[in-house]
Amino acid sequence: MKILLSTFLLFCISTHAPPRKIKVVVKILPTLAKLVKDQPIQIEVSAKDFSYGDTKPINDSLVLLFESSSASSFDVVINGSLKYADSSERYFRTGSRFDLHTGSENFQMNFPADCTINRYLGGKTCPNCKNSKEIIPVVYGLLLPDMPGLPGIDYYPMGCMRSSCDPSWYCKRDSLLF
CATH code: domain of residue 64: 2.60.40
**Domain-located, residue 130:** yes
Domains in the chain, number: 2
**Domain-located, residue 141:** yes
Task: Tell whether pTM > 0.85.
Answer: no
Q: Say whether both 54 and 107 belong to one domain.
A: yes
Which of the listed residues 85, 114, 143 is the one where a domain comes to its end?
114
Task: Note down pLDDT in tens along the chain; length 178 residues.
Answer: 545 444 444 444 445 567 888 999 999 888 888 888 888 999 999 998 889 999 998 888 889 998 888 889 999 999 998 888 888 888 899 999 999 988 889 999 999 889 999 889 899 999 999 999 999 999 998 888 788 888 878 999 998 888 889 999 999 999 999 9
**Domain-located, residue 2:** no
Q: Say whether both 106 and 48 belong to one domain.
A: yes
Helices (H) and strands (E) counted in the chain, each on its own, are: 3, 11
The boundaries of the domain holding residue 77 are 18-114
**73, 167, 172 from 112: Cα distances, Å:** 21, 13, 26
Q: Are 148 and 154 in contact (CB under 8 A)?
A: yes
Q: Are 28 and 58 in contact (CB under 8 A)?
A: yes
**Domain-located, residue 56:** yes
